[in-house]
């Protein structure tokens, strides 16, 4: 079955058109992503800004045109942290409705479940104790899977767009600020690990921070999904990239091979979260998943 899955996140809006067979992505027909920063100012105002809504609707218009060209069997769009926290989500949902799209605003548990289904569609985790994490713009999802105990997930309101509002990442990073940021990050991750009671053998990261790290580590000038998915990057290399990026302005970061435009500021808090997690659980190799929520959503659409 050919389906179209749209993931409306706090930082980016992403489309996947795919052929799905059972619980697997048989063929990826088309992918597209726009960084629309829908979650900007959510911390202070709890409102979606007019400009971010406009950027998102513009992206959705393009997606609808593409979806119609591909003649898909089913379409579904979901929105995550920024929209579920906003006091004015109807401004976005009404605009999407005019395009013929109904947006489902999903909770953190549903989001975590879709991420798990997406990641496991692209990486074999059978028989392993796995901790997955997905760093979004407004929240971060953690999913722990144990072959003997089953699966549990948790969503926390810690995301890279929110963190970028609190600190200035446009300039060379003030490392005193970074030390202050580590305290709340450590505290939140500590709560997650205690709640999930996890002792993983494997750590898998999805979403823009891990995939950008992989692209930078391979010095990609053109993003290659097949090379990124499953790529393993050790913590020493992650720290090397982190230190290098912190020593640059956001404009200079755009010249780094593998850096996606629009991610030059939020990549810093994203790497901070990933690095702290790795140190806390004692796993020093990060496996990267290019698959995530939208792939999980595509599987869910096809199996309704």
Find tokens 């020093």 and name the residue: 284
Domain boundary residue among 65, 87, 106? 106
Confidence (pLDDT) at 108: 83
Give whole-number Cα distances, 280 to 171, 185, 189, in Å.
Answer: 28, 11, 8
If asked whether residues 59 and 79 sit together in one domain, one would say yes
In 102-251, the DSSP E strands lie at 103-105, 130-135, 140-146, 150-156, 202-206, 232-234
Confidence (pLDDT) at 43: 62
If asked whether residues 154 and 239 sit together in one domain, one would say yes
In the chain, the DSSP E strands lie at 2-8, 12-21, 24-35, 74-79, 103-105, 130-135, 140-146, 150-156, 202-206, 232-234, 285-289
* In-domain check, residue 258: yes
- Count: domains in the chain: 2
Phi-psi region of 219 (alpha: psi -120 to 50; beta: other; left: phi over 0): left
If asked whether residues 73 and 184 sit together in one domain, one would say no
Domain boundary residue among 73, 106, 139? 106
If asked whether residues 40 and 187 sit together in one domain, one would say no
Give whole-number Cα distances, 263 to 110, 123, 266, 269, in Å.
Answer: 26, 25, 5, 11
Confidence (pLDDT) at 261: 86
Confidence (pLDDT) at 239: 95
Q: What's the CATH code of the domain at 248?
A: 3.30.420.150
Report the C-alpha gap between 231 and 88 in whole angstroms.
39
Whether the full predicted model's pTM is greater than 0.85, yes or no, is: yes
* In-domain check, residue 301: no
Q: What's the CATH code of the domain at 76?
A: 3.30.420.40
Report the C-alpha gap between 208 and 210 in whole angstroms.
6
Report the C-alpha gap between 275 and 268 in whole angstroms.
11
| Main-chain phi, psi angles of 256, to 5 degrees | -75, 125
* In-domain check, residue 302: no
Domain range enclosing 61: 2-106
The tens place of each residue's pLDDT in the chain, 304 residues long, gives 999 999 999 888 999 999 999 888 999 999 999 989 888 776 667 889 999 999 999 999 999 999 999 999 999 999 988 898 899 999 999 999 999 999 999 988 898 899 999 999 889 998 999 999 999 887 899 999 999 888 898 888 888 887 887 778 889 988 777 788 888 888 889 999 999 988 999 999 998 899 999 999 999 989 998 899 999 999 999 999 999 999 999 999 999 999 988 889 889 999 999 999 999 999 999 999 999 999 999 999 998 7
Confidence (pLDDT) at 184: 85
* In-domain check, residue 304: no
If asked whether residues 222 and 233 sit together in one domain, one would say yes
If asked whether residues 87 and 149 sit together in one domain, one would say no
* In-domain check, residue 182: yes
């Amino acid at each position: 079955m050919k389906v179209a899955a749209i993931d409306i996140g706090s930082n980016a809006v992403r489309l996947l058109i795919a052929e799905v067979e059972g619980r697997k992505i048989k063929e990826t027909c088309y992918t597209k992503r726009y960084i629309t920063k829908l979650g900007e100012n959510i911390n202070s105002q709890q409102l979606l800004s007019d400009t971010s809504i406009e950027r998102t609707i513009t992206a959705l218009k393009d997606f609808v045109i593409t979806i119609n060209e591909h003649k898909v069997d089913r379409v579904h769009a979901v929105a995550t942290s920024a929209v579920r926290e906003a006091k004015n989500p109807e401004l976005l949902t009404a605009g999407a409705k005019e395009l013929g799209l109904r947006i489902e605003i999903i909770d953190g548990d549903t989001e975590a479940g879709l991420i798990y289904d997406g990641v496991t569609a692209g990486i074999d985790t059978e028989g392993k104790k796995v901790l997955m994490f997905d760093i979004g713009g407004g929240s971060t999802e953690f999913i722990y899977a144990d072959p003997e105990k089953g699966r549990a997930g948790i969503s926390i309101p810690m995301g890279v767009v929110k963190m970028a509002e609190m600190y200035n990442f446009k300039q060379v990073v003030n490392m005193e600020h970074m030390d202050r940021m580590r305290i709340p990050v450590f505290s939140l991750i500590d709560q997650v690990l205690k709640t999930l009671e996890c002792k993983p053998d494997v750590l898998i990261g999805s979403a823009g921070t891990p995939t950008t790290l992989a692209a930078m580590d391979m010095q990609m000038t053109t993003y290659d999904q097949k090379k990124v998915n499953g790529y393993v990057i050790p913590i020493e290399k992650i720290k090397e990239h982190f230190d290098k990026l912190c020593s640059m302005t956001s404009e200079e970061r755009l010249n780094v091979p593998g850096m996606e435009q629009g991610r030059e500021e939020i990549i810093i808090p994203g790497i901070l979260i990933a690095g702290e997690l790795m140190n806390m659980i004692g796993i020093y190799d990060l496996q990267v998943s290019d698959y995530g929520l939208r792939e999980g959503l595509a599987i869910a659409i096809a199996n309704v």
